[in-house]
Amino acid sequence: MPTDLLYGAEVVLNGLMAGVLYALVALGFVLIYKASGIFNYAQGVMALFAALTLVGIMEGQVPFSHLINATFGTDIHHFGWHVPAFAAILLTLAVMVGFAYLVQRFVFRHLVGQEPIILFMATIGLAYFLEGVGDLMWGSEIKKMAVGLPQGGSLWVEENTQWLGFGNEDFYGFFIDKLDMVATVIAVVLVLALVAFSQYTKQGRAMRAVADDHQAALSVGVSLNFIWILVWSLAGFVALVAGIMWGAKSGVQFSLSLIALKALPVLMLGGFTSIPGAIVGGLIIGVGEKLFEFSFGPMLGGATENWFAYVLALVFLVFRPQGLFGEKIIERV
């Protein structure tokens, strides 16, 4: 096999892995959008906030320590204990559920019945708020996510794919990040669990009923309030998983919240209302942008990943405005 083709294959594989991570963020969007019609721009910041909280709890940081120190002239930073990863994840989950409740109670309950665009703006405001709170609470320096996920390239894959080069000296086997493989497995498990939850449990059915028709669901006794809190908690959970994965990959920092922007074209491609759409869209975007950068990037001056996903989604939408798997948009006067 020619080496170029093999490199291409490696690029595709890495693109698939990156796509899984995009899909992970996009999932959170889809969950909330389906259940409440809210396009939650804050999803990326929720991932950042979850990751910050997780690291903060593990390290035993004192929340708002900078603010306290600045106001009272004290010098406290840490409680002095370290929480094991698993317990910290549970605690963070509790924080995210609490956040879901607060958001529902203080923001979206007051905005029921507003136009979708107003709700969208509200989530942008929420994103700013949460970002500021996250920074105030845990400090804004780059942190390491050390929850025991494997790092670096996988030697095993590299050794076992070397034969594909058929004696070609330039080819050393595929280079694949271990973390990406773990992320793929986790994402698959997460999606299966979400599907099972929404298909086979009482709350899941109620969730789907709300997604289908708010008023009909209300009339058969589904509590909208509860479902919305549930959905925001689930989105918080997905955000936590995404935050852990991205945090382990590139450190916990502000740029983490920008992955929300990367998830938007994924959603457009897959359709806002479809969980499989989020996955397929993520994979297409992941592979597409890596392949484009690989084949045309050098010609165009590189860093095409910044815009390729959006342009792809834009061109795609012109032909199919509801995305790949989205519900057909029917408009009536």
Partner 1 sequence: MFYREAGDFSTSYPEDSQTFPIRFDRYRYYLVLFVAIFVIPFTINDYWVNSIFLPFLIYAIAAIGLNILVGYCGQVSLGTGGFMAVGAYACYKLMTAFPEVSMLIHVLIAGLITAGVGVLFGLPSLRIKGFYLAVATLAAQFFLVWLFNRVPWFYNYSASGQISAPERTVFGIEVTGPNTEAWATYLFCLAFVIFSAVIARNLTRGAFGRKWMAIRDMDIAAEIIGVNPLRAKLSAFAVSSFFIGISGALFFAVYLGAVEVGEAFGITKSFTVLFMIIIGGLGSIFGSFAGAAFLVVLPVVLKLVGVDWLGWPTDIVAHLQLVIVGALIVIFLIAEPHGLAQLWRVAKEKLRLWPFPH
Nearer to partner 1, 127 or 241 (CB): 127
Which of 110, 152, 169, 215 is in the footprint of partner 1 by CB under 8 A? 110
> How crowded is the C-beta side of 194, counted as CA atoms within 13 Å?
25
How many residues bind partner 1, per CB under 8 A? 53
Query: Is residue 120 a contact point for partner 1 (CB under 8 A)?
Result: yes
Burial of 244-274, coded b for 16+ CB within 10 Å and e otherwise, reads: bbbbbbebbbeebbebbebbbbbbbbbbbbb
- Nearest distance from C-beta of residue 299 to partner 1, angstroms: 11
In angstroms, give the least distance from the CB of 4 to partner 1.
Answer: 24
Handedness of CA 60, 64, 68, 69 (dihedral sign): positive
Q: Does 253 bind partner 1 (CB under 8 A)?
A: no
We find the least distance from the C-beta atom of residue 141 to partner 1, in angstroms, to be 10
Cα–chain center distance at 228: 19
Only one of the segments 75-83, 163-171, 215-223, 313-321 lies at the binding site for partner 1 (rule: CB under 8 A); that segment is 313-321
**CA separation for the pair 264, 33 (Å, rounded):** 12
Q: Which of 68, 91 has the CB closer to partner 1? A: 68
Alpha carbons 195 and 197: distance in angstroms, whole number: 5
Cα atoms in the Cβ-side hemisphere of radius 13 Å centred on 50: 34
CA-based nearest residue to 288, from 265, 272, 260: 265
- Provide the total of helices (H) and of strands (E) in the chain, helices listed first: 14, 0
124 near partner 1 (CB under 8 A): yes
Q: Tell me how far, at minimum, the Cβ of 319 lies from partner 1, in Å.
A: 8
| Site pattern 25..44 for partner 1 (x: CB under 8 A) | --------------x-----
Residues 241, 192: Cα–Cα separation, whole Å: 14
Residue number with CB closer to partner 1 (174 or 308): 308
Of residues 141 and 169, the one with the C-beta less far from partner 1: 141
Residues that bind partner 1 in the complex, under the rule CB under 8 A: 39, 66-67, 70-71, 107, 110-111, 114, 116-118, 120-122, 124-133, 135-136, 140, 261, 264-265, 267-268, 272, 300-304, 306-307, 310-311, 313-314, 317-318, 321, 323, 329, 331-333
